[in-house]
Structure 1
Amino acid sequence: MATIIPTIGSCGNKITAGEKRLARIFESNLSSDCTCWYDIPTGEKQTHPDFIILDPQRGLLFIEVKDWYISKIKSANKTHVIYETSDGDISLTHPIEQVRQYSYGAINYLKRDPQLLQDNEKYKGQFCAPYGHGVYLSNITRKQLDKYFSNSDIFPSDIVICKDEITEFMSSEEISLRLFSLVKHTFSKEISNKQVDRIRWHLYPEIRITHALDKPESSAKPISVLRTPNIIKIMDTQQELLARSLGEGHRIIHGVAGSGKTLILLYRCLHLAKDNNLKKPILVVCYNIMLAQKLKSLIKSHQLMVPVEITNFHAWCYKQAKIKNILPNSKQNFIENLEQAVITGFQNKTIAAEQYSAVLIDEGHDFKQDWLKILSGMVDSETNYLLFLYDDAQSIYQKKSSLDFTLSSVGIKAQGRTTILDINYRNTQQILHFATSIAFDYLNDHIEDNFKYHKPDAGGLQGQVPNMLVFDNHQQEIIHIIKWLKQQHHTGVSWNDMAILCPSTAHLSAILVKELRDSKIPHYFIASSEDKKRYSPQSEFLSIIPLPSSKGLEFHSVAVIDSSNIMGNSDDLSDEIKRLYVGFTRATNNLLVTLHQKNVLSRHLTSTYNQIYNNA
């Protein structure tokens, strides 16, 4: 089966009967390697072909569908068609001309990327894949068309497919042969996976994953060359399918670390924020201040039709309470009192419900039951857009092993609309294997069977084995980490794509900052909530971040320092293990773990590491 993006069922009333019929034929009969996009703004000019079909073995196809009836076509030439409608006869661009412009515009745009050109001497400079375009007339047979238009040049049979030339009753081979007869030239070499990704990267900018290492090509190059990073990062096809197919109503995504939850939230936010019909703002809310800052930085570069408010939960509470003049008077237990003031204000309707057209909640595992009742009540009942994302394994703020209440009890009504993402794409396979081995074996030994964690599947690239080093004291850790950071930077990793993570910045030795200054390493030390609010992912500095505050962030190279520091007094290390799991999975490529304190946590870390890598 081919992948249709978005799913046919999520297209609502915008898909016509003929388009739906053709989409189902494609889905059932084209190969599993084939991806088909329906009515998605495409490329530099954001044009709207009805269908784009990408088959790595056969090429790229652009299809325009018309649900026309032969009796209503009053006249036609090569550029225009006069068609009868309820409002009278109207002049329309000929669908062949329409799809030809879509096709040539997209191909000429893609050809500006040198990596999408043929290297074969015979076809040098041509697009890397065969391509073609055509028209599907869903209500007109070939016999009808030939009878009404004796001039075959107006609706030529090699470009126009009639209703009876592709049907549900044909074999998959017959359908593929007829469809790909629209491709006029073939090459022996199929499109590589990297080229498929580059094609998607150019055609659909909204699925790109921005990354500090993705530096554009030099602006000195001529305008005819696309400034494209050598290494691109985009949603995989299944992530894109989910993001584009969310549809209306409440939706839940339960995903492992690195599965693309936040990426899907961003796509959903941008998609909704371009809807002129929304009358109220969109709220994006998370627990972590620094994640909110990251989301703001990713959103601000887009032109939006609808205001988007991005915040962490307690900042949102503060704003609501300040507007209604119900802020707590005492600074003692201020956060707890603020929460209660907002809860009470919502219950007695001092704080109005339904303030937003859409509410998108990231890090849902860290939200309390009463908080979610308020947030679900903030969704306008007319639009009813709510997206809730969570991962039990990253719940490091609340004292629970999983959501200990039903989502329906807090007003999140998503029965049958829950998606589970169990593949980690962020980390290398080696980092993920290390992180899950450290975390899940321990955690599963300390919770009930009903709540046991399942290790995520690895979808990332191969990479280097994480390095764990034990030192005699904290200063030795620092000196080694500084040296490691310099080596990373020397290989081309930018400072803002590296981080030092620690159980608590309050426990870090002042020697660290001195060594960073002496080494002339630009850095940003995050110790307070004000530091978090000023955090800017684009600024060129190394970040020093407490482990809990790193949630939702990612860096090419991460050093986790003082890893065996036990913050609590309990014999149960679950909280420490969860914090470390979050920290380890922030590293996309390189991970260094250091420790000096000798205790039960250090024994767990070193014994697990030795067991993994057969060093015992």
Structure 2
Amino acid sequence: MAYTIPETIRSTATAGERLLFRTLKTYLPDDYIVYFEPEIRGKRPDFVIIGPDLGLVVLEVKDYTKNTLFQLNHDEWTIISAAGEQTTVKSPLKQARDNMFHIVDVLKKDKNLIHLEGKYQFQLKFPYGYGAVFTRLYQKDFVQEGLYAVIDPNLCLTRDEIDPDKETFSEENLFEKILNMFIVPYRLRTPLTKEEIDAIRYHLFPEVRISAEFKPPVPYQDQLLLSLHDIKAMDLHQENLAKQIGDKNRLIRGVAGSGKTLILASRAKLLAKQHPDWKILILCYNISLAQGIRQMIHHMLNEPDSLFDFDFTKEDGKAETKWDNIIVRNFHEWLKYDLRITERQIPSILEKLEKNEAILPMYDAILVDEGQDFESEWLALISKRLNPATQSLLLVEDRAQTIYKRKRSYLQDTGLSFQGRSKILNINYRNTAQIVKFAWDFYRTHSVLKNKVAHREFEGEIIAPQSTRRKGPEPGIFKAENFAQEMNMVVRQIQKLHEEKNVPYSEILILYRVKRTHRQNIIDTIKRSLEQGQIPYYWLTEDETAKRKFSRDDNTVKISTIESSKGLDFQAVFIVNVDNMPFPLEEDKEREVSLLYIGMTRAKEYLCLSYSGESEFTKYFERIREERQNSKDTKEKYVR
């Protein structure tokens, strides 16, 4: 069964489009991707098929009958409408051909997708083709009406060739016909790799882009080519979610690292593109997360659809684009600067809004990240600032990351039901398999909510994460004599990662639970140790100004509380002073469990926990350390 985007076809599609959609989905191989009406640089081909051993095929679908057709040639068809009027249109094959070359022209600019030498120099590495599908005409109709004189039989599919209910239908024939729609004479010697398919998606669908290393276009003989490396794009499930969230109110529940914020940002971009007149609001709880989302949105909205539209004469490689219709705020910033109220005023404001006695800004779409952190009254206020005509509210949450006690009933809070309007993201893309297992084992062992874990949709409150197959080192556990020694170890490890593993300082994060205790000043020791090691740093949580000025990419090691790291991720994360967890003054142990789980899942590749004292959590990690040591000793003994 092929992977379709969108997952299901829209209800307004024609009967013929729905039939072809089901047939392609059912009978094409599992590793094929079928796009229905994708928007590609201002054009919307009916179907685009990408297959590792196939290449790329564009299909145009027509529901014409014999009575529809009046006068035909290779370029133009005159058809008769249901009202009896004659209209001249472009030939279906010419439409498909033009759409195909529109796509090919985009892809041929990527140096990694073309032949650089030989007979097919500057042609795509893979075949590409096009065809037309006639959902209400049969092969006998083509013969009787002489249609094969203007339509190449190799480039068209008829009803009896796409309808499984017809006796003449054959899966093998369907596949063979699609294979024969190519206009280039070569076949793929080796299947397209995942990286090459991701590169195709990266160019055709800007909304799936996450990041890539790329150099400005450079002349290669008589061509101007771009070179992309280390491409990161949304996976197909994430792309489907971003494109098919649907209208009205929606809920996305996802595990840490599943790309929830990325999908939210992509959704905001799509809405801004589709509705340039809409006023769009993005809210979250943390100041630093709001700044991170702001930077993500800025990057996504300012990147042109075509990377060849970059102005490389500019210092940052691109011209600045203003998107005044998207506002990103943390909740209390929104209250202060946009609504001009305080949190204490919310109950009275809700009453006044109910009586139409207050005038506050309205929004056509509101997207809420980390929804589990929002109070009921906050959500009630948000829902009342939403345009009732659009009802475009997107809530994104992960209840395993809940660190604030909030009673939750979205129906009561917002007046909107999310039943049947929810999606689950349970694959963790951020962390290595080792980090996912390490963090989840800890959470499952200590959380009182462990009995509410959901392994499938709607079975419980907490979603169990599934990891990708990306491997990495086991998370480090280090015990020191005192905190100064602990920080000396952290500094040595940062230097090693930076010098030996080429991890930039901007990809390193140090997390702490509290900045000082009666015994020692934690933050001063962290800063002093980094200064002695000549490591540049930025104290993200020094104050509100520091949070608002936070730049994800500046070349410094970031220092933050665990709370303020929500929604962020770094290649390497050091959680220090773990013996201060659970924090003695925190009555809610569940919050401490969630906090440490959040901290651990910020790490994409390297994770290290360190402590110099003892607590309930460090006892757990000590047992893991001992098990690792015993296992190591046993192996060494066996080798000897």
Contact 2:54 2:179 in 1 (8 A): yes
Question: Is 1:603 paired with 2:619?
Answer: yes
Partner of 1:252: 251
Question: Is 1:480 paired with 2:498?
Answer: no
Contact 1:285 1:360 in 2 (8 A): yes
Q: Which has the larger displacement, 551-560 or 72-81?
A: 72-81
Question: Is 1:363 paired with 2:370?
Answer: yes
Question: Is 1:434 paired with 2:438?
Answer: yes
Question: Is 1:545 paired with 2:568?
Answer: no
> d(CA) in 2 for partners of 1:18 and 1:67?
6
What is the Cα deviation at residue 226 of structure 1? 2.1
What is the Cα deviation at residue 364 of structure 1? 0.7
> d(CA) in 2 for partners of 1:150 and 1:61?
22
SS in structure 2 opposite 1:217?
A: strand
Contact 1:254 1:420 in 2 (8 A): yes
What is the Cα deviation at residue 207 of structure 1? 0.7
Structure 1 gap ranges (5+): 329-335
Question: Is 1:579 paired with 2:578?
Answer: no
Contact 2:4 2:34 in 1 (8 A): yes
CA change 1:465–1:102 in 2 (3 A) is: same
What is the Cα deviation at residue 570 of structure 1? 5.1
What is the Cα deviation at residue 129 of structure 1? 3.0
SS in structure 2 opposite 1:8?
A: coil
Question: Is 1:95 paired with 2:92?
Answer: yes
Partner of 2:573: 558
What is the Cα deviation at residue 517 of structure 1? 3.9
What is the Cα deviation at residue 375 of structure 1? 1.5
TM-score by length of 1: 0.87
Matches within 5 A, 1:259-274: 259-274=258-273
Supply the RMSD in Å over aligned alpha carbons.
3.0
What is the Cα deviation at residue 90 of structure 1? 4.0
Partner of 1:200: 201
What is the Cα deviation at residue 438 of structure 1? 1.9
Q: Which has the larger displacement, 89-98 or 362-371?
A: 89-98
Partner of 1:512: 526
Question: Is 1:291 paired with 2:296?
Answer: no
Partner of 1:332: none
Matches within 5 A, 1:195-594: 195-210=196-211, 214-217=212-215, 222=220, 224-228=224-228, 230-276=229-275, 279-301=277-299, 302=301, 307-322=325-340, 327=341, 336-337=343-344, 339-340=346-347, 342-343=349-350, 345-352=352-359, 355-396=362-403, 398-399=404-405, 404-444=408-448, 453=462, 455-490=464-499, 491-505=501-515, 507-526=521-540, 527-566=542-581, 567-569=583-585, 573-594=589-610
Contact 2:448 2:590 in 1 (8 A): no
List per-residue Cα deviations over 1:308-330 (Å, max 9, x = no partner). Answer: 111111111113442xxxx46xx
Partner of 2:191: 190
CA change 1:318–1:594 in 2 (3 A) is: same
Q: Which has the larger displacement, 216-225 or 355-364?
A: 216-225
> d(CA) in 2 for partners of 1:79 and 1:492?
57
List per-residue Cα deviations over 1:472-500 (Å, max 9, x = no partner). Answer: 12222222222222222233322222211
SS in structure 2 opposite 1:465?
A: coil
> d(CA) in 2 for partners of 1:503 and 1:159?
65
> d(CA) in 1 for partners of 2:146 and 2:201?
38
Contact 1:274 1:304 in 2 (8 A): no
Structure 1 counterpart of 2:490, which letter?
I
What is the Cα deviation at residue 501 of structure 1? 1.5
One of 79, 102, 105 as aligned partner of 1:105: 102
SS in structure 1 opposite 2:258?
A: coil
SS in structure 2 opposite 1:20?
A: helix
CA change 1:75–1:309 in 2 (3 A) is: same
CA change 1:451–1:251 in 2 (3 A) is: closer
> d(CA) in 1 for partners of 2:578 and 2:592?
9
CA change 1:608–1:352 in 2 (3 A) is: farther
CA change 1:319–1:239 in 2 (3 A) is: same
> d(CA) in 2 for partners of 1:537 and 1:221?
33
SS in structure 1 opposite 2:98?
A: helix
What is the Cα deviation at residue 544 of structure 1? 1.1
Contact 1:4 1:35 in 2 (8 A): yes
List per-residue Cα deviations over 1:280-328 (Å, max 9, x = no partner). Answer: 4111111111111111112224168771111111111113442xxxx46
Structure 1 counterpart of 2:244, which letter?
S
SS in structure 1 opposite 2:180?
A: helix
What is the Cα deviation at residue 588 of structure 1? 0.8
SS in structure 2 opposite 1:40?
A: coil
SS in structure 2 opposite 1:432?
A: helix
> d(CA) in 1 for partners of 2:358 and 2:285?
20
Question: Is 1:34 paired with 2:43?
Answer: no
Partner of 1:18: 16
> d(CA) in 2 for partners of 1:286 and 1:460?
30
Contact 1:362 1:389 in 2 (8 A): yes
> d(CA) in 2 for partners of 1:452 and 1:444?
12
Contact 1:317 1:338 in 2 (8 A): no
CA change 1:547–1:394 in 2 (3 A) is: same
Partner of 1:333: none
Partner of 2:172: 173
> d(CA) in 2 for partners of 1:570 and 1:522?
32
> d(CA) in 1 for partners of 2:348 and 2:623?
48
Contact 1:354 1:381 in 2 (8 A): no
List per-residue Cα deviations over 1:231-258 (Å, max 9, x = no partner). Answer: 2211111121222111122211111111
List per-residue Cα deviations over 1:350-383 (Å, max 9, x = no partner). Answer: 4447811111111011111111112122221211
CA change 1:394–1:253 in 2 (3 A) is: same
Q: Which has the larger displacement, 83-92 or 305-314?
A: 83-92
SS in structure 1 opposite 2:16?
A: helix
List per-residue Cα deviations over 1:488-545 (Å, max 9, x = no partner). Answer: 2233322222211211345534243244345443322122122111112233332111
SS in structure 2 opposite 1:127?
A: coil
Structure 1 counterpart of 2:405, which letter?
K
> d(CA) in 1 for partners of 2:470 and 2:138?
49
> d(CA) in 2 for partners of 1:200 and 1:75?
38
Q: Which has the larger displacement, 250-259 or 184-193?
A: 184-193
> d(CA) in 2 for partners of 1:416 and 1:446?
25
List per-residue Cα deviations over 1:334-357 (Å, max 9, x = no partner). Answer: xx5255565455455444478111
SS in structure 2 opposite 1:209?
A: strand
> d(CA) in 2 for partners of 1:100 and 1:72?
22
CA change 1:112–1:275 in 2 (3 A) is: closer
> d(CA) in 2 for partners of 1:453 and 1:556?
26
Q: Which has the larger displacement, 366-375 or 141-150?
A: 141-150
CA change 1:463–1:345 in 2 (3 A) is: farther
Structure 1 counterpart of 2:274, which letter?
D
> d(CA) in 2 for partners of 1:250 and 1:462?
37
> d(CA) in 2 for partners of 1:25 and 1:87?
32
Contact 1:424 1:456 in 2 (8 A): yes
Question: Is 1:2 paired with 2:2?
Answer: yes
Identity of aligned residues (%): 28
Contact 1:286 1:292 in 2 (8 A): yes
Contact 2:33 2:49 in 1 (8 A): yes
